[in-house]
Amino acid sequence: VEALQKNPKHKGRKGPVVLVIMDGVGYGKYTEGDAVKAALTPNLDRLTAEWPSTKLKAHGTAVGLPDDGDMGNSEVGHNAIGCGRVFAQGAKLVGKSIEEGRIFAGDTWKKLISNVRDKNTTLHFLGLFSDGNVHSNVSHLRAMLTRALDEGVKRARVHILLDGRDVGETSALEYIDPFEEFLSGLNAKGADYRIASGGGRMQITMDRYGANWSMVEKGWHTHVLGEGRRFASAHEAVEILRAETSAIDQDLPPFVIEENGKALGSIEDGDSVIFFNFRGDRALEITAAFEEDDFDKFDRVRRPGVEYAGMMEYDGDMHVPRQYLVPPPSIDRTLGEFLAATRVKQLAVSETQKFGHVTYFFNGNRTGKFDPGTEDYVEIPSDIVPFEDRPWMKAAEITDTVIKALEEGKYDFIRLNYPNGDMVGHTGIYPAVVCAMEALDLQLGRLEKAARKAGATLILTADHGNSDDMFEHSKTGEVIIKENGQPKAKTAHSLNPVPCIIVDFDGKGEYSPTLKEGLGISSLAATSIELLGYLPPSDYDPGVLDWK
């Protein structure tokens, strides 16, 4: 891409622009369950009161999802923030591809289907079993099974990762029971289609960014080797495991379905496997276990020779997986690429849990740097602990890194992600979320001080809401109370807007203190560019500033 032109209205700044992504921190709609409001956050409160601010949309069509009932997530959120425009995203692309039949006309689908038909082997589906529309949607799975039967596939096995993180925390049976009925319908037409294994998504298979490979190893044993605790059905497994562990869905232990003393659906030579998640971050590790010849993350014991395909391409640079069903959005001309072309020095910082978000997703699903000469990416290793046990996570260490960078004055544009609001928000444990917000606020105070000293500009914002909406509400707006008298926790993201606070310590009054309203988080790219002293590309969504 070409270098950016100067913003003639910008009078220069002493320090860099710092884009602070407070993951999962939105403006709540309800008072009860809004951990952001409930927490003691004097720094955030003061910054909000003293500096220009507005609310940005971070869900639904504003971030490329099928409709405005879809909550935002960090993949589409960081795409929108880093790319300055809104692209149709996985959920939408796959839905359309199925609707129009393109997925079934593609070579990958045809190859996987004829593989099992020719060899009389099994077609496996593995993925997140909900309609959360963040990583997957069960409606896509149903469409593929229906089609497989039409195309003469006799035997299919489904390996289900229980959600409870993008949907209600104990909603697994609301997906399993109707799905079993759906399978019975297909089986009445001569199919042999069954659920074969499963487990909570935070226990098996769906690790990301190499944070905890042992999860993937457990998943491999469960789905591929058919090893683990045996149950007669998924329904039974969920009921028994819930009673024993009182875990919410995402944390339920793995289970294997058996029949006549044998695992019903281990994965064998000659089978086809479709990983039906469309989102990449939590799909890459299990994909590597299937695809890589030299694999050293764990002992696979047995690696079946299968035709493996992902729903989408999960990594467009490394071309992983080798086969996929639906082409991903092609995202080009990102903020990072323009800044690299303009020789603006960039730093990206987060801890492991969100490191890929602030680099790979931010750069339009692209691995690596645009220009290693002007960019540095810093990953602080995350602890492998339940996040509710340490809600402060690595917020202090992330801040240390940014403060040091501000002191050294090496960078023009710094972006960072504080995962606390999101990662702790997903646990559903309210006091931990309040603590996470207070820990975050302490770090904002430190950041503010260092930014003031450096003459920097802070843009305080988020990729989507989560901690602002921690209780389930009924359609009429009342908090849902459980049998034990406690509010039902909401582990998923919210539909709420997110902050955009412009803390411009060396500002010269070049723009109106009243920011534009009604924009989405894709406006953060143009806003960053303008505050850096350049003009955004003409096809970028408008920035929030009204330049005088």
Binding site for ligand 3PG (CB under 6 A): 73-75, 134-135, 165-166, 282, 422, 426
| Cα–Cα distance, 395 to 436 (Å, whole number) | 9
To Co ion, the closest distance from the beta carbon of 382 in angstroms equals: 14
To Co ion, the closest distance from the beta carbon of 73 in angstroms equals: 6
Contact 489, 462 (CB under 8 A): no
Residue 124 assigned to a binding site: no
Residue 282 assigned to a binding site: yes
C-beta of 16 vs 419, nearer to Co ion = 419
DSSP 3-state of 378: strand
Task: Identify the residue among 207, 281, 375, 422 touching Co ion (CB under 5 A).
Answer: 422
Q: 282 is in the binding site of which of Co ion, ligand 3PG, none (Cβ under 5 to 8 A by kind)?
A: ligand 3PG
C-beta of 23 vs 258, nearer to ligand 3PG = 23
Residue 281 assigned to a binding site: yes
| Cα–Cα distance, 437 to 450 (Å, whole number) | 20
To ligand 3PG, the closest distance from the beta carbon of 140 in angstroms equals: 16
C-beta of 133 vs 342, nearer to ligand 3PG = 133
Residues whose CB is less than 8 angstroms from the CB of residue 362 and which lie 6 or more positions away in sequence, other chains included: 78, 79, 81, 82, 334, 335, 336, 348, 415
The reply to whether 468 sits near Co ion by the rule CB under 5 A is no
DSSP string of 236-296, one letter each residue: HHHHHHHHHH---GGGPPPEEEEETTEES----TT-EEEE----STTTHHHHHHHH-SS--
| Cα–Cα distance, 497 to 265 (Å, whole number) | 43
To ligand 3PG, the closest distance from the beta carbon of 461 in angstroms equals: 14
Task: Verify whether residue 74 is a known catalytic residue.
Answer: yes
* Cβ neighbour number for residue 233 with a 10 Å cutoff: 17
Residue 136 assigned to a binding site: no
Residue 403: how many CA atoms within 13 Å on its side-chain side? 14
Q: Which stretch binds Co ion (CB under 5 A): 57-65, 322-330, 406-414, 417-425?
A: 417-425
C-beta of 285 vs 422, nearer to Co ion = 422
Residues whose CB is less than 8 angstroms from the CB of residue 310 and which lie 6 or more positions away in sequence, other chains included: 274, 275, 277, 283, 287, 320, 321, 323, 324, 325
Q: 194 is in the binding site of which of ligand 3PG, Co ion, none (Cβ under 5 to 8 A by kind)?
A: none
Q: Residue 403: what are its φ and ψ, rounded to 5°?
A: -60, -40
C-beta of 360 vs 511, nearer to Co ion = 360
The pair of structure tokens assigned to 171 is 């909603």
| Cα–Cα distance, 77 to 62 (Å, whole number) | 9
To ligand 3PG, the closest distance from the beta carbon of 492 in angstroms equals: 8
Residue 201 assigned to a binding site: yes
To Co ion, the closest distance from the beta carbon of 281 in angstroms equals: 11
What character string, x for contact with Co ion (CB under 5 A) and - otherwise, covers 155-184? ------------------------------
| Cα–Cα distance, 542 to 159 (Å, whole number) | 44
To ligand 3PG, the closest distance from the beta carbon of 2 in angstroms equals: 32
Find the binding residues for Co ion in span 197-226 (CB under 5 A). none
Contact 90, 343 (CB under 8 A): no
Q: Residue 412: what are its φ and ψ, rounded to 5°?
A: -100, -30
C-beta of 90 vs 95, nearer to ligand 3PG = 90
C-beta of 34 vs 307, nearer to ligand 3PG = 34
Residue 473 assigned to a binding site: no
Q: 75 is in the binding site of which of Co ion, ligand 3PG, none (Cβ under 5 to 8 A by kind)?
A: ligand 3PG
| Cα–Cα distance, 397 to 401 (Å, whole number) | 6
- Three-state SS annotation for 398-460: HHHHHHHHHHHCCCCEEEEEECHHHHCHHHCCHHHHHHHHHHHHHHHHHHHHHHHHHCCEEEE
C-beta of 16 vs 168, nearer to ligand 3PG = 168
To ligand 3PG, the closest distance from the beta carbon of 362 in angstroms equals: 13
Q: 165 is in the binding site of which of Co ion, ligand 3PG, none (Cβ under 5 to 8 A by kind)?
A: ligand 3PG
Residue 23 assigned to a binding site: yes
| Residues of the chain by 3-state class (helix, strand, coil), percent to 5 | 35, 20, 45
Q: 522 is in the binding site of which of ligand 3PG, Co ion, none (Cβ under 5 to 8 A by kind)?
A: none
Residue 357 assigned to a binding site: no
DSSP string of 190-225, one letter each residue: T-EEEEEEEEETTTSS---TTS-HHHHHHHIIIIIS
Catalytic residue of the set 53, 74, 171, 523: 74
* Count of residues interacting with Co ion (CB under 5 A): 1
Residue 279 assigned to a binding site: yes
Q: 166 is in the binding site of which of Co ion, ligand 3PG, none (Cβ under 5 to 8 A by kind)?
A: ligand 3PG
| Cα–Cα distance, 171 to 134 (Å, whole number) | 16
Verify cis geometry, omega within 30 degrees of 0, for the bond prior to 178. Answer: no
* Cβ neighbour number for residue 342 with a 10 Å cutoff: 20
Residue 192 assigned to a binding site: no
Q: 258 is in the binding site of which of Co ion, ligand 3PG, none (Cβ under 5 to 8 A by kind)?
A: none
Binding-site residue positions: 23, 74, 135, 165-166, 201, 208, 279-282, 354, 422, 426, 463-464, 493
Residues near Co ion (CB under 5 A) are: 422
Binding-site residue positions for Mn(2+): 23, 74, 422, 426, 463-464, 493
Q: Which residues are catalytic?
A: 74
Binding-site residue positions for substrate: 135, 165-166, 201, 208, 279-282, 354
